[in-house]
Chain A
Amino acid sequence: MKTLAIIDYGMGNLHSVSKAVEHVAPDTRVLVTADPAQIRSADRVILPGVGAIRDCMAEIRRLGVDDLVREVSSDRPLLGICVGMQALMSRSEENGWVDCINLFPAEVRFFGQNLEEEGVRLKVPHMGWNEVHQTVDHPVWHGIPDGDRFYFVHSYYAEAEHNADIAGRTHYGVDLAAAVARDNIFAVQFHPEKSHRAGLQLLKNFVQWSGT
């Protein structure tokens, strides 16, 4: 039986992620854990995250999750979700700039309080279902129509401009990286576990993907 480890570094509830994975992959053993040994022995790993980046990064560093993520992503698939994706970037503007794990060079920026589109003010957080345009062909996108909507909830975003690793793009006042991918890592700003059919398909694809 294949195993999937969801890294539990104490930031928020991981019930939804684990239930969604169990739903699409009943043959996979899902572990919600902070134990490095369990994470190292898993066939694939999910790095989730909610809340403020300063708190997330503090826990990630305290538990050694940063080194662990670098290590496991060298030889097996890793999926970053929401703040879990942001944590993989170089640094975030949130909480007055916080250094992140830096597996991707992009920076995480604030939408700002005066976000607008053609004179219409846009609400922040970016909350709800938005279109994701796939910019690369990737096994994790398999069977998901280009432009399908996923559920987002965030006030900070990884920039799409000059982002060589972008895998999916969404527009909300600015172009943002809805997904990035390189080697064994696929990371998404939206919540696949809350994105109904498209999200469940993405999780199913991830469980079937064996990486590069």
Chain B
Amino acid sequence: MALAKRIIPCLDVDKGRVVKGVNFVDIRDAGDPVEVARKYNEQGADEITFLDITASHESRDTTYETVERMASEVFIPLTVGGGVRTVEDIRKLLNAGADKVSINTAAVFDPDFVRKAAERFGSQCIVVAIDAKRVSKAGEVPRWEIFTHGGRKPTGLDAVEWAKKMTALGAGELLLTSMDRDGTKVGFDLGLTRAISDAVSVPVIASGGVGELQHLADGVTEGGADAVLAASIFHFGQHTIPEAKAFMKAQGIEIRD
């Protein structure tokens, strides 16, 4: 009846290998991003997000090669992020087969980069990643700020205003990560998710904190997210994509069977 809410497994990739690997019984090489993506594709994932955490610039060629192999075998949308700083970075990733490219820190240092990227390639392939942390104290009106460097450096930018600005500059989608919740397994920051989702007209992907299936459902029903992203609950065999979909469907959420 309606557009399905998306479930997106996220792969953290360093020098062409999935960080920490995954734990699937029937997979040959748990460190190969292409193998892992193919597995998620078979399970019915709605998209794949590939986060390149490779520090050195020289290893970028490995990233392009991996993206190209992945796009040759996995026929669902592929978003690639991490270290995207120039229009040339975006062009190379799109040419390698990425459908969308996620811009993170570079947007903070040069917001106009988002406008340039959207004008050149179209908003439909420009995702802006927003890493936010709650800065208000308990009892105060909730407020979140943008942080860089893995949540260590505050920028003073208000997350809701930032989200609006990024959308106005041409972001076609926002990948919203709560840096307070990332890795905690206690669920999304639903207040943050709701505040951003209500503030912008583009789709919002909720990320950071998923530890159980109920968290995915909450991201949609309470947070108002259009898509939910998770890593560890899928990677280590705790849950499969079909389990997540069945769970969300039982709660009345529109999903792709």
Contacts and interface: CB of A to CB of B under 8 A. Distances in A.
Contact of B75 (A20, A121, A122, A126): A20
B203 A123 contact: yes
A97 interface: no
A18 B178 CA distance: 38
Given A129-B3, A153-B124, A123 B72 contact: no
Given A12-B121, A50-B122, A123-B201, A151 B71 contact: no
A12 B122 CA distance: 9
A23 B71 CA distance: 11
B71 A16 contact: yes
B230 interface: no
A130 B3 contact: yes
Contacts of A23: 72-73, 75
B95 interface: yes
B25 interface: no
B2 interface: yes
B180 interface: no
Interface secondary structure of B, over-half rule: loop
Interface in B214-257: 226-227, 256-257
Interface string A171-212: 110000000000000000001011110011000000000000
A125 B46 contact: no
A93 B207 CA distance: 35
Range of interface residues on A (Cβ < 8 Å): 35 or more
A125 B172 contact: yes
Range of interface residues on B (Cβ < 8 Å): 35 or more
A12 B75 contact: no
Interface string B107-143: 0000000000000011111000000000000000000
Given A50-B124, A52-B122, A196 B3 contact: no
Interface string A120-138: 0111111111110000000
Contact of B76 (A125, A126, A172, A196): A196
B97 interface: yes
A123 B227 contact: no
B1 A131 contact: yes
Given A123-B202, A127-B172, A128-B227, A15 B71 contact: yes
B17 interface: no
Contacts of B98: 13
Nearest to B173: A127
B35 interface: no
A53 to B, nearest CB: 10
A151 B201 contact: no
B124 A154 contact: yes
Contacts of B73: 19, 23
A113 B201 contact: yes
Contacts of B2: 117, 130, 171-172
A125 B4 contact: no
A123 B68 contact: no
B94 interface: yes
B173 A19 contact: no
A51 interface: yes
A154 B41 CA distance: 23
Contact of A127 (B71, B95, B124): B124
Given A153-B124, A172-B3, A196-B41, A125 B202 contact: yes
20 contacts: A12-B121, A13-B98, A19-B97, A50-B122, A51-B122, A123-B226, A126-B3, A128-B3, A128-B6, A128-B46, A128-B226, A129-B3, A129-B46, A129-B256, A154-B124, A171-B1, A171-B2, A191-B77, A194-B75, A196-B75
Interface of B: 1-6, 41, 44, 46, 68, 71-73, 75-77, 94-99, 121-125, 172-173, 201-204, 226-227, 256-257
Interface of A: 12-13, 15-16, 19-20, 23, 50-52, 113, 117, 121-131, 149, 151, 153-155, 171-172, 191, 193-196, 199-200
